[in-house]
Amino acid sequence: METPLHVSALLGHLDFTKALLSHKPKLAIELDSFQSTPLHLASAEGHIDIVKQLLQYCDDACLVLDQEGRIPLHYAVIRGRLEVVAELIRVKPESLRILDKGKTIFHFCVTHNHLEILKSLIELAIGDTYELLNQRDMDGKNTILHLAVMSKQVETVRYLLSIPEIRELSNMENGMGYTVHEILEQIPQDLKSLEIQVILMNSGINSTERREVKDREGLTSTNVGQGMRPRKKWWKNILKHVGKWFKYKFKYNGDWLEDMRGNLSLVATVISTITFQAVINPPGGFIQQVKTCMKMIKHLTSICPRNRNENAIG
């Protein structure tokens, strides 16, 4: 149940707040039915004078978690209360490190698109600020750079990549195994995504080299928690079957030119399908598509006249 101080802090009545605190200072740490202190409410509403008054009587209220597991700073960031954020950090710098369901304060800044608050927090450079900038959340193992690219926040991406500590780890994968460049390739393309692509290029972030390494090592990213595991080099099997098909054509004495026109078209379709699916499908679906395409190629080799007559091709 709310105390009079909760109501006063919520509505922004400074004089009444001062009177209540002078009469009973312990009200500053009292909890309502949502386990919130008056500081939670004043911070969310952006009543900076009341916030300062409450902090004079009990600065430990900065670290109190409500029933949602949030401290006053979380609500100030979510609601975009820049002055309140600065005051809360000044009084209790350690509140910057308190997580909400695995999310840092910086995750909230990007999720709710508050670039100015993000800049202010980073400029304070408190303690392990720069380590937190590359911390991944618990939902999708995303850094703030991943989130900024996903939501196409052009200026936020530009600012984050101006920070050396973030730029150096810009090829970090999220929980689905995607880097920021690979995320950009998955989302719908528009002017904002093109702007971000230019920003990434200017920062030296490119996925081409990374793909070549993955293909060379035969690796694939699987679901969250499974890490990296070897993928069978399916493209060698494709080349093997296509090679058998061409070998057969040069030995076949029938009207192979006419057959080749149709069959080459089918082979081209199969290969382009594989290439396209590699981009748009998640890992599990992609493997299934490769298996399907392999069956198509095997079927192609089996329906050739030489196969029907001599069963010469394996």
Tally of domains within the chain: 3
What would the 3-class secondary structure string for the chain be?
CCCHHHHHHHHCCHHHHHHHHHHCHHHHHCCCCCCCCHHHHHHHHCCHHHHHHHHHHCHHHHHCCCCCCCCHHHHHHHCCCHHHHHHHHHHCHHHHHCCECCECHHHHHHHCCCHHHHHHHHHHCCCCHHHHHCCCCCCCCCCHHHHHHHCCCHHHHHHHCCCHHHHCCCCCCCCCCCCHHHHHHHCCCCHHHHHHHHHHHHCCCCCHHHHHHHHHHCEEECCCCCCEEECCCHHHHHHHHHHHHHHHHHHCCCCHHHHHHHHHHHHHHHHHHHHHHHHHCCHHHHHHHHHHHHHHHHHHHHCCHHHHHHCCCC
Reply yes or no on whether the pLDDT at 82 is more than 50: yes
Confidence of residue 242 (pLDDT cuts 50, 70, 90): low
Look at residue 76 and tell me whether its pLDDT is greater than 80: yes
Phi/psi at 178 (nearest 5 deg)? -105, 140
What value does the mean pLDDT take over residues 209-235?
45
The pLDDT of residue 314 is 44
Do residue 84 and residue 182 come from a single domain? no
By residue range, what is the domain housing residue 187? 99-217
Q: Answer yes or no: do 87 and 109 share one domain.
A: no
In a domain, 225, yes or no: no
pLDDT score recorded for residue 234: 46
Least confident of 53-62, 138-147, 148-157, 279-288: 279-288
Q: Which of 184, 217, 250 is where one domain is finished?
A: 217
State yes or no: pLDDT of 263 exceeds 70: no
Domain check: are 169 and 260 in the same one?
A: no
Q: What is the mean pLDDT of residues 214-240?
A: 46
In tens, the pLDDT along 150-189 reads 999 999 999 999 999 999 998 999 999 999 999 999 999 9
More confident residue, 207 or 80: 80
- C-alpha 6: how far from chain center: 37
From 34-38, 176-180, 216-220, the region with the lowest mean pLDDT:
216-220
Q: Are residues 61 and 108 in the same domain?
A: no
Q: Looking at the domain assignment, is residue 161 inside a domain?
A: yes
How confident is the model over 82-92, as a mean pLDDT? 96
Instruction: Give me the pLDDT at residue 207, please.
Output: 60
